Chain A
């Protein structure tokens, strides 16, 4: 399960509207409890390095991720997931999303942005332990 407050939820959806018709991307920071529930306490917008194909691809520069991780660590936050948008496409993971997912036990949040407006937002947990048994499984996204 992923818990997120209304402000951060609105913010990640809005990010996708701002970058439309390109994909947005960012990092979810917070904590995971002993039951596996992840709670978002802050977001970090990230740049999409896939300027060659930003309408259907995203990539976060690892250097930027290191900075985000370090700043999060200073606040007592861990990286617990990532978000990106699908312009004029469902809020469902694609084969590309799946192939490029490697942060096990983290949440991958996808927002469908239709004609510039955020519609549906879904969250998927990357389960498993390696490239053989990994799965992206839809999880409860609780806005509280």
Chain B
């Protein structure tokens, strides 16, 4: 089963689990399975319109899915999916 790595700030919504196994053939299915298992995650990952929030980066192993097939990107057993909120800023 693919595994989704959960960033520190979202673990309170997964019963403190740092990673969640999902049943999925695509990134979209993996995220859907994740929020089905842990519904409180939904609003932190998705806007009210159902789109992935802009600051939520999703990586399949070491590739940003935006540059693959986005939510249609295929996943397989043993794949590591990472949810990575952006880290940015600046002095003004």
Q: Is B90's CB under 8 angstroms from A58's CB? A: yes
The docked-state distance in angstroms from the alpha carbon of A57 to that of B90 is: 4
Q: Is B87's CB under 8 angstroms from A87's CB? A: no
Q: Is B90's CB under 8 angstroms from A102's CB? A: no
Q: In the complex, what residues of B have CB within 8 A of residue A42's CB?
A: none
How many pairs of A and B residues are in contact by the CB < 8 Å rule?
Answer: 98
Q: B9 touches which one: A56, A62, A94, A104 (CB < 8 A)?
A: A104
Prevailing SS type, chain B contact patch:
mixed
Q: A58 touches which one: B18, B43, B84, B89 (CB < 8 A)?
A: B89
Tally of chain A residues near chain B (CB < 8 A): 43
Q: Is B87's CB under 8 angstroms from A82's CB? A: yes
User: Which residues of A54-87 have CB atoms within 8 Å of chain B's CB atoms?
Assistant: 56-60, 62-63, 65-67, 69, 73, 78-80, 82, 84, 86-87
Q: Is A59's CB under 8 angstroms from B86's CB? A: yes
A115 on the B face (CB < 8 A) = no
A3 on the B face (CB < 8 A) = no
Q: Is B91's CB under 8 angstroms from A86's CB? A: yes
Of the stretches B22-30, B56-64, B69-77, the one at the interface is B56-64
Q: In the complex, what residues of B have CB within 8 A of residue A106's CB?
A: 8-9
CB of A17, distance to nearest CB on chain B (Å): 16
Q: Is B57's CB under 8 angstroms from A84's CB? A: no
Q: Is A97's CB under 8 angstroms from B90's CB? A: yes
Q: A102 touches which one: B9, B12, B62, B91 (CB < 8 A)?
A: B9
CB of B5, distance to nearest CB on chain A (Å): 7
Q: A56 touches which one: B18, B43, B85, B92 (CB < 8 A)?
A: B92
Chain A residues with CB under 8 Å of chain B are 23, 25, 27, 32, 46, 50, 53, 56-60, 62-63, 65-67, 69, 73, 78-80, 82, 84, 86-87, 89, 93-97, 100-106, 108, 126, 129-130
